[in-house]
Structure 1
Amino acid sequence: MKKAVVTFLFFIGIISESQSVKAQSQNCDITKINGGGFSTTIKSVVCNPNNTYTIVLQVSHNGCGGPKCKELSHLSIEAAPGTYSNMSLQVLSGNMKGGNLVVGPNLGSDPFQGFKFDNIKNIGGGKAGVLQIIYTLTSLQSQRISAKAGTNGQIVTFSIADFRYVMNCNGTSCAPLPADSDGDGVPDAQDEFPNDSERAFSNKVAQGTLAFEDLWPFNGDYDFNDMVIEYQLTAITSNSNKVKDIKATFKLRAFGAGFKNGFGFQFGNSTVNQSLITASGSILTEDFIQLGSNGLESGQAVPTVIVFDNAYELMPHPGGGAIGVNTTPGAAYQQPATVTINITFSTASYTIAELNLTGFNPFIFSNQQEEEKFTYPIIRLLHLLI
């Protein structure tokens, strides 16, 4: 059965409001009658990938004339301030002129806020035509549309349900967003820290084995077994790929030194802001290394981490005349010792490349005489001596 259209017209001051029952066509449109020959149709509602909505309305005039069919002066669209953008007006048929965009949100005599197209001519008052309005909303909302002609506001109201009906009918609704528990923009399925908005990815940056000779550059045995350390550097990065944490794991496997050697490293980028860094996990048993409150070695221009200061405190000597630990054939094997250094940036400001983690500078040092600290990186030694 065909639906009958019933129009109610109310006059209140200079604003009148005309409402119609909803007419739904097979092509998913919803049309409402403004009055004075004007009608407004929701043509499409599309949910965009960024979860905004692009809406297309058409305002039509049937060409009627006379005192009840005045010429259109402006079209006003209700929208909450700050929620609308990309507004445009197109002429689909007829000879409309004007239509200057007024961004709003205040619209003069209109009883709502939003935007409008002003100073319209040549549509209504006996002149048929069809106009198309396109705009984007951050969220669907109930909206009034005024086709102002003469003193008549000629307002229709579309509910959120109306917009959803057109969107769902046309199959242009939003795809369900993947779960993102911490709201950092990285879906839980890809986020290794789904409940931590400052952390998203764990990146294995570098790994290898270091072998040191503690007599270099002086003449010696050059056996490079005075300290043997495996290492792995892992960077925890944010959703913008900036480093929040560094996990540096060092496994002391062997040392054939008579000296009580320690081990540390410097950042590959000497310009990193040390005030952003907090380091923990150092094992210090001697009294000649000074750390700042941030866990870095004091007095260094380059961020410097001391991992341990005496290898003999990490792996016990097997005795029996062995030289060092795990370097003398036939001596008792000692289990390697692992030390993990945790470095956190208060603000994730650097990428992995900017920190130059693969270019980190490892070194050993001795707690013997000052002249025996020749295994320090030269830049570190100079800063300590200044």
Structure 2
Amino acid sequence: MAAHRRPRQRSLGGNTARTAVTLALAGAATAAAFEGTGNAEPQLTPAQVKAEVDRLYQEAETATEKYDGAREKADAAQRRLNSLRDEAARRQQKLNTARDELGSLAAAQYRDGAIDPSWQLALSSDPDRYLDGAAFAERAGDRQAGTVTRVREQLREIEQLRSDARAELTSLRSRQAEVRRHKQTVTAKLGEARRLLARLTPAERSRIAGAGAGAGHASRSASDTRAALEQAGSVAASGSRAAAAVAYAYQKLGSPYVWGATGPNAFDCSGLVQAAYRSAGVSLPRTTYAQIDAGRRVPRSQLQPGDLVFFYSGISHVGIYIGNGRMIHAPNPSAPVRVAPVDEMPFAGATRVS
């Protein structure tokens, strides 16, 4: 009989229950600890933050140059579209005038009646006068045919203009979408950089802002700027235009970096270069990718004040050389326009603007 008895179910009570609860709580705590460890942000040193922020700024600047290029192309497409629409409107006005002329001719024919010319000659009391009138009518018919031909040509031209405008509008919308994508990339990179910098103390942020750059890389006081301007007058540039561009860049020391800006009070790197040479009467392209091909390439060993110096393998940064191994550039949102050594970034090439 005993062999067929069902085993008794033991309740979780007393010490057994307490042990189970303890194990469950320990397991939950362990899981929470692992989960917290997985989600916690790593504690970065100021040097690590600087390296990461520098990387983000460089990536943001690459996206900024793409944004500037896309916006330039979008603006050009908008101008072409406006021109096509204006031309189509002018052609439409000419077409309306030609149609009015055709309408007047048609109304005159209707009023005179369409009588067979031989009957008009037979019934005419003055055949000579009729023949003169017939010759005039023939010339009028030729004029009418010419007007019809012009109307047809104008219709074809207007349709071609409208077709071109439709294609240009498609291109414009594509460029605008590209502008928005690059803007989102820049905004995201700069936002991440700001978030990292916010984790540092003000003193740490100040230290990494000028780390490894020397006095020329730090924010400049009014006396520093005056001294730089005096030095600018003694530095021989490669030409009067180059000298004017260098002088302009010196005057903009301390101006804030704003991505997409071309002055007069804020700049990104290529915007500063474009504005400096614009002040000297030279029109440069908007982006670093195009600016490097806007003049004659020169080796680093032959740099002269006014030369454009480019950095990174993607040609994403540019400055204006001022002599003695230094340049003026707009670095990034954490630093204003300032003097810096050329060798602080990977050198990619140099161009002398003619």
Q: Aligning the two structures, in what range does the TM-score lie when normalised by the shorter sequence? A: under 0.3
Name the structure, 1 or 2, with higher relative contact order (CA <8 Å, separation 6+): 2
Specify which structure has the higher proportion of helix. 2
- TM-score, with length taken from structure 2: 0.22
